[in-house]
Amino acid sequence: MHLFYPRYHAQGFYRNTFLVDRPQEIARAEKSNREWNNIAESGCHFTCMAMIGGVDPATLADAAIKQGYYQPDKDLPARALDGQRGPLVWDQNVPAKKGESFTFPKVWHAGQGRLVDLELVCRRWDDYLSLKDATRLINAAILQGRHVVSGSFEHSVLIAGLSDDGPLVWDPDVERDSGAARRRLQAMVEGGLSLRAWGQREKVRKFTVVEYELRVKG
């Protein structure tokens, strides 16, 4: 078993961190899962990207503000705190297409003790893959030194290691209110949840594979 990341972050620990530039953009979707545009309800993919960069999700969210990272999603109607209706503003999983990149400037990297620019380059985004095909692509990407976000079309998990049972995942959507939830959380940290087992638990049969190249500039 080989684990990739020294620090883990769960999206549910950031209910008061919103993926918007201005407070008046805080809103709740009126369809789908009626999610708020905070990290806790809309930030599974964003949390995975923060872990790839080795930084806290709230720190990464703050660094994105001045770059115009958060944009209205015309496919997600929402109602803001003041009752106004409009498209939900959130990160939209950018960069979300092969060849696209986004640079988060002047991010405080606590592990390195300095400010860095984090550039994420999307090298692949494939949906609706079989477990066999997803595993093959994940292994190939890791051999190339890339980071992989997997899961399903609806929810992202981070490929956090490799084992004899296949790729290991960190699911950022974890709870902490019960003993069973805390045990599941700890098991993931210790490499106890494979992509195969996660798919069985969540009843996912078709998987997503997103490959990122990380560039860190001092």
pLDDT of residue 65: 83
Distance between CA 189 and CA 11 in Å, rounded? 15
Structural domains counted in the chain: 1
CA distances from 65 to 8, 22, 40, 60 (A): 23, 9, 18, 9
Read off the pLDDT of residues 136-190 as tens digits, 9 standing for 90 and up: 999 999 999 999 999 999 999 999 999 999 999 999 999 888 998 899 999 999 9
SS3 96: coil
Q: Which amino acid is at 129?
A: L
Residue 179 contacts by C-beta under 8 Å, 6 or more apart in sequence?
none
Confirm if 36 and 27 have CB atoms less than 8 A apart: yes
Residues of the chain with pLDDT under 70: none
102-131 per-residue burial string, b: 16 or more CB within 10 A, e: under 16: bbbeebebeeeeeebebbbbbbbbeeebeb
pLDDT of residue 33: 85
Closest CA to 93 of 50, 138, 143: 50
Peptide bond before residue 57 is cis, with ω within 30 degrees of 0:
no
pLDDT of residue 68: 85
pLDDT of residue 66: 77
Range of the domain at 63: 2-217
Q: Which amino acid is at 140?
A: A
